[in-house]
Structure 1
Amino acid sequence: MATSFLLLCLATVFGLSSGVVLSCDGSCSCNLTTGTINNCSDVTDFPDTFPNASSIQELYIVGNNITVLNSKLHIFESLKQFVITSSGVEIIQNNTFRGMGKLQHISLTRNSIVFIRHGTFADLPELQGLVLSHNDISTLDAHSVWNMSNLIDIDLSYNKITHLFSASFGPLPSVTILDLGYNRLRFVTDIALKNFPSLTNLVLTGNRIKTLNAFDFAHCSSLKSLHLSNNQINIISDKAFLSNATGKGLKINQLYLENNQLTEFPPLNDLNRLLSLLISRNSIDSIPSDAMIGLSGLRYFHMTYDRALSDIEPGVFRKSKSLINVLLNDNPRLKNLPDGLFANQKLLHTLFLGNCSLTAFPESLGSWENLKFLSIVNNSFHCDCSMKWLSKPHYWNRSWKTADLMCASPPELDNRSVLELDDSVLPCVDHTAVSNRVRNGIIFAIVTIVLIAIVALVIRFRRTVVLRWRYYRYARQTDDVPFTVDNEYSDYPSGKRKLRMSDLERDT
């Protein structure tokens, strides 16, 4: 009965007779336009025979109760698109797709598949996409996905995979996208990745990875985008992104390291082709001045919601002259920015620094001629002369969020708008002149201390210096008679004359 019912639904979808219109009864919902069979909860298997099955190219089955997929699918020998989702599939027999050489796309999402058997997806020369997301897969047997030269995309996300075996895949020379996000992987299996020589996009988001070891991605010579967010990463080797064949950095353009457990800025200077770096929601307390010296082409830098960031050293972006988008907002411990931090950023378009604890934002921080979007709201600004530039119309007429900038100090300006700052309410202090005076004062104090020390030494040893000088003059006058001087008197080596100290002290 159930088989007949599915047959009726399939016949409705694909229109066996142009002169007869059939309808879906019971709980089924069939759509002739989209070619779908939905919510046939009583259907548990495919029919053994089906009129015109060899000509059907697309089959979409949603919301059914088919627990096992088997060789009965072979009747759809021309099938190109096969989608069965939310239908309770638990088992895929290893001969299910054998001989279906025209299949281009298989999607088995939101089912209950536990493992993939040997040879389940093999020898499908036209297959380009394989989607197995949102299942319960924990194991892929050897040769589970094998010998498909045109396969481009593999999606195994939202499963329970704990380990990848090198024998599970390959050879798969054309795969460019491998999505292993939201599984239970604890480390990167570099041997398994060697079967994907053309891989450009690797998704490992939402796993349990703690460490990136040396050469973990060494076989991914074509990798462009690497997603490692929402893991537990706290250690990254300085060779993690090197190729063991050439010893050079990989060609990664996008690197996602958000929401991990990093406490130090990772070593990334080998990634000289990196364009986007997203490293928000970690516990990195400082960005060293040489942290991004090798990232000359970096365009997008996002480091927001960091629980510990309190220090950005001078010159961090000095080599990254292509920055377009910088997000440093929602870092509550960030109070100061080094002067000239964005001085070389002629292309800077968007800068977010809101919800930090900044006390100042002087114009000398950077070059602002091309900046279109600026947000520095909800900080603790001390309003002085260095903040007045933000009230200039040619700045806030852009998409700069300065209208709601408020002063936090001094007390008389608390909760006053930055736009109200002018000489009538705020004496302008020339901080450059002040700093020059402080510097000159320090130099003067050092020179004075040195001179005082010299004078003290002269006074302390004046008597000895004078005696030595008189002895020198006397010896020059009587150089034919050598003698020595001590504190009491000096005897000539020959003769009976004595030169007493009082003789040298006579004129003192």
Structure 2
Amino acid sequence: MSSSTLNIIMITILFFLASANALANCPNGCSCDDDTLVVQCEENSRLDVLPITLNPSIQRLVIRNNKIKMIDSSIQFYGELYFLDLSYNHLVSVPMRSFDSQKKLQELHLNHNKISSMSNWTFQGLNSLTVLNLRGNFLEELNKGVFSVLPLLEELNLGQNRISRIDPAAFNGLVSLRVLYLDDNQLNAVPTPSFSLLGSLAELHVGLNAFSSLPDDAFAGLNRLAVLDLGGAGLLNITDGAFKGLMGLRNLVLSDNRLKTIPTSQLSELTRLEDLTLGQNDFTVIEANSFKGLVNLRRLDITGASQLERIEKAAFNENLNLDTLILASNKKLDTIEEGSLVGLPNLRHLVLKENAITTLTESLLAWHELKKLELTDNPLHCGCQLLWLQEKLLQKNFSQVQCASPEHLKDRLLRSLESDDLGCASNEVQQQLVICIVVVVIVAALTTLILLLYHYRRRVHEAFKDYKWNKRAISRKEHEYQKTFSDEDYMLELYASPSVFFLPGGAQGSGRRGPRPGGTAPAPGAAATLPVNGFTYINGPDACRHTHTLNNAHHHKNGLLPHHNTLNNGSLRSSLSDKKVNTFNKRNVDNNRYCRKQDNGYLKNYGCEQVRNNGFVAEPEYSVISEGGYAPPDDDFGRPCSRENTFSC
């Protein structure tokens, strides 16, 4: 009988013995549960080979942190396995067809061993496998079709190996693959050609390599990619078309690279991006609109940016859906400009710990909407300017905030301080003093204005009265009387001044006002302006005794004016609108003119006014003065009055 036959007999005997008394043969340091069909052999079991005395019906076998060096034929006894974990052992290689009996196996974890090579025969028989973990081994390359026998594989972890070359057809057959880890390898370029076979891939981790730059269409073929991790990829430059085609990307990690500026234009194409991690880069400022186009961004993490010093206003201007903002461990960040976060209505979680922030303004953001605030480990200067924050800490369940200065408040909790501790008492006194001064100045100004108005009340009243009279005169009389008629109609003609009217015909010339007392007489031919506001008809040398008065004829109390005629209509225009009015026939109106008289007695030097003062005639409102003029005694009105210069009349 051959030795191989004896080995088979011995294994068969052991198998039946294990089936008969599984619990009795559970290795030392292992946990065997026949009810759940789970066996766990952790570090204390010190196994160097796979045990063959376990219950052959077990479904979950975990032999982690032991010293197993190879997978031998004993694995064939456990055909019911769904889960096998042989991580953190000393496996150097996996013989071909080692898992030929594991038709039901769904998860295989061989991570953190010393496996350096494998072929497409290595995984033969694993038709149901969905998760394969080979992380932390010594793999150097991926050959063509190495995973082609795993049609149902959904997650493949090849991270933390030594892979420097990937065959373009290495992932052939992985039609169901959704998660791929290639991070922490020795790739010097993105393996774009191999991605064309991964049309279902949703999550890709390729950070911790040595890419230095991302070329255009670096991820061509990955149209369904939702998560892309490029953390620690050594990126210095990202071309404008690097993310082209990634329209469904939701999560992007660009942390731990060497970017000098935020790649705003490159990121703007990722309109569906919701989570962005951008810390541990070399940019010094977050400028306005740095994240333009990222309208769906909900979480932004900028942690460990050692050169970051300032965040400008409107840096997050278009990120209205931002819910969580993490700005932590940026040792030079001491300036967050006022209003930088005020336009974020959905912000609920703000982490500002371990920065160089000394103070914050209340207008920084809408604090009443915030649910979580972390401000620990900042060199805060606790003065009156942080009184508002102290009140917010009492109102909301925010993290503890300690003072770094001034010296007498060092290490004290801001929440426990009073306004006097923050030096707000003196500030309140100063504010009250300023308010009092302002009030006193306003009251003094108002008092001065009132006194001035009272002192000059008469002038103000006269000015206001003149303004009202002029406005009424222009609107009611000037527009009413400014019409010119022919000689035949015996109507008034309006010349340069609205206050002077002429009856047509007659010789030029009329009385003129002489010089005022103490003044000089006008030059020969010069005009003396006569502001007037009434009209009186004066006919002939005895004009003051035979007047035709318009609209204001008052008989003298002594009745000395028997020939006084009145135009009863009260309006110059209405009184003279009919050319057949008997009162002003052609005989009476020829060589006559109308002038207006002012209330201030400016006509006193005229004969009519003197006669009126002597008690012969009542003061008229409208008078008709002969165009031929008159010269009462003791007056020096001999200069002509032309029709073209009626201001002189």
TM-score, with structure 2 as normaliser: 0.56
Q: Note the C-alpha offset of 1:161.
A: 1.2
Q: Note the C-alpha offset of 1:251.
A: 1.6
**Residue matched to 1:16:** 19
Listed as ranges, the matches of 1:97-116 within 5 Å are 97-98=99-100, 100-116=102-118
C-alpha contact (below 8 Å) 1:385/1:429 kept by paired residues: no
State the distance in 2 between where 1:21 and 1:306 align: 56
Q: Note the C-alpha offset of 1:120.
A: 2.8
Give % identity.
24
Listed as ranges, the matches of 1:176-255 within 5 Å are 176-243=178-245, 249-255=246-252
Deviates more, 1:72-81 or 1:159-168: 72-81
**Residue matched to 1:257:** 254
Q: Note the C-alpha offset of 1:293.
A: 1.3
**Partner AA of 1:35 in structure 2:** V
In the alignment, does 2:161 pair up with 1:163? no
Q: Residue 84 and residue 412 in structure 1: after superposition, are their counterparts in 2 closer, same or farther (change >3 A)?
A: closer
Q: Residue 24 and residue 369 in structure 1: after superposition, are their counterparts in 2 closer, same or farther (change >3 A)?
A: closer
State the distance in 2 between where 1:161 and 1:16 align: 43
Listed as ranges, the matches of 1:73-472 within 5 Å are 79-98=81-100, 100-121=102-123, 124-243=126-245, 249-266=246-263, 267-379=266-378, 386-392=385-391, 394-401=392-399, 403-407=401-405, 420=419, 421=422, 423-426=424-427
**Partner AA of 2:104 in structure 1:** K
State the distance in 2 between where 1:264 and 1:360 align: 26
State the distance in 1 between where 2:41 and 2:393 align: 58
Deviates more, 1:115-124 or 1:183-192: 115-124
Q: Note the C-alpha offset of 1:102.
A: 3.3
State the distance in 1 between where 2:402 and 2:54 align: 70
Unaligned 5+ segments in structure 1 are 244-248, 434-508
**Residue matched to 2:39:** 35
Deviates more, 1:335-344 or 1:269-278: 335-344
State the distance in 2 between where 1:387 and 1:139 align: 59
Q: Note the C-alpha offset of 1:10.
A: 7.7
**Partner AA of 1:396 in structure 2:** L
State the distance in 2 between where 1:64 and 1:134 align: 16
C-alpha contact (below 8 Å) 1:403/1:419 kept by paired residues: no
**Partner AA of 1:17 in structure 2:** A
Unaligned 5+ segments in structure 2 are 435-649
State the distance in 2 between where 1:383 and 1:22 align: 68
Per-residue CA deviations over 1:362-402 (Å, capped at 9, x if unaligned) read: 1122211211222335545567765432233x553212346
**Partner AA of 1:251 in structure 2:** G
C-alpha contact (below 8 Å) 1:136/1:159 kept by paired residues: yes
* SS of alignment partner, residue 193 of structure 2: helix
**Partner AA of 2:160 in structure 1:** Y
**Partner AA of 2:181 in structure 1:** D
C-alpha contact (below 8 Å) 2:138/2:161 kept by paired residues: yes
Q: Note the C-alpha offset of 1:61.
A: 4.5
Per-residue CA deviations over 1:200-249 (Å, capped at 9, x if unaligned) read: 12122433332222211222211112222233222222221111xxxxx4
Taking CA–CA contacts closer than 8 Å with sequence separation of 6 or more, which of the two structures ends up with the larger relative contact order?
Answer: 2
Q: Note the C-alpha offset of 1:303.
A: 0.9
Q: Note the C-alpha offset of 1:157.
A: 2.1
**Partner AA of 1:354 in structure 2:** K
Q: Note the C-alpha offset of 1:82.
A: 3.6
Q: Note the C-alpha offset of 1:198.
A: 1.5
**Partner AA of 1:337 in structure 2:** I
**Residue matched to 1:502:** none
Q: Note the C-alpha offset of 1:99.
A: 7.0
C-alpha contact (below 8 Å) 1:159/1:182 kept by paired residues: yes
Q: Note the C-alpha offset of 1:146.
A: 0.8
Q: Note the C-alpha offset of 1:426.
A: 2.9
C-alpha contact (below 8 Å) 1:385/1:427 kept by paired residues: no
State the distance in 1 between where 2:205 and 2:149 align: 22
TM-score, with structure 1 as normaliser: 0.70
* SS of alignment partner, residue 327 of structure 1: strand
State the distance in 2 between where 1:56 and 1:131 align: 21
* SS of alignment partner, residue 364 of structure 1: helix
Q: Note the C-alpha offset of 1:86.
A: 4.0
**Partner AA of 1:150 in structure 2:** L
State the distance in 1 between where 2:120 and 2:209 align: 25
Per-residue CA deviations over 1:112-153 (Å, capped at 9, x if unaligned) read: 110122443357432211111221111222111114332111
C-alpha contact (below 8 Å) 2:39/2:58 kept by paired residues: no
Q: Note the C-alpha offset of 1:16.
A: 0.9
State the distance in 2 between where 1:327 and 1:28 align: 44
Q: Residue 73 and residue 389 in structure 1: after superposition, are their counterparts in 2 closer, same or farther (change >3 A)?
A: closer
**Runs of 4 or more consecutive aligned structure 1 residues displaced over 6 Å after TM superposition:** 3-6, 50-53, 382-385, 411-416
State the distance in 1 between where 2:253 and 2:394 align: 33
**Partner AA of 1:116 in structure 2:** M
**Partner AA of 2:395 in structure 1:** N
Per-residue CA deviations over 1:453-496 (Å, capped at 9, x if unaligned) read: xxxxxxxxxxxxxxxxxxxxxxxxxxxxxxxxxxxxxxxxxxxx
Q: Residue 8 and residue 42 in structure 1: after superposition, are their counterparts in 2 closer, same or farther (change >3 A)?
A: farther
State the distance in 1 between where 2:10 and 2:426 align: 81
State the distance in 2 between where 1:15 and 1:169 align: 40
C-alpha contact (below 8 Å) 1:384/1:428 kept by paired residues: no
Q: Note the C-alpha offset of 1:339.
A: 2.3
C-alpha contact (below 8 Å) 2:97/2:125 kept by paired residues: no
State the distance in 2 between where 1:353 and 1:319 align: 21
State the distance in 1 between where 2:112 and 2:310 align: 45
Q: Note the C-alpha offset of 1:171.
A: 2.4
Q: Note the C-alpha offset of 1:280.
A: 1.4
Per-residue CA deviations over 1:96-123 (Å, capped at 9, x if unaligned) read: 3457543322222232110122443357
C-alpha contact (below 8 Å) 2:81/2:105 kept by paired residues: yes
**Residue matched to 1:440:** none
Per-residue CA deviations over 1:390-449 (Å, capped at 9, x if unaligned) read: 233x553212346524555xx99999967533642336999xx9xxxxxxxxxxxxxxxx
Instruction: Select 2:70's aligned residue among 45, 67, 71.
Output: 67
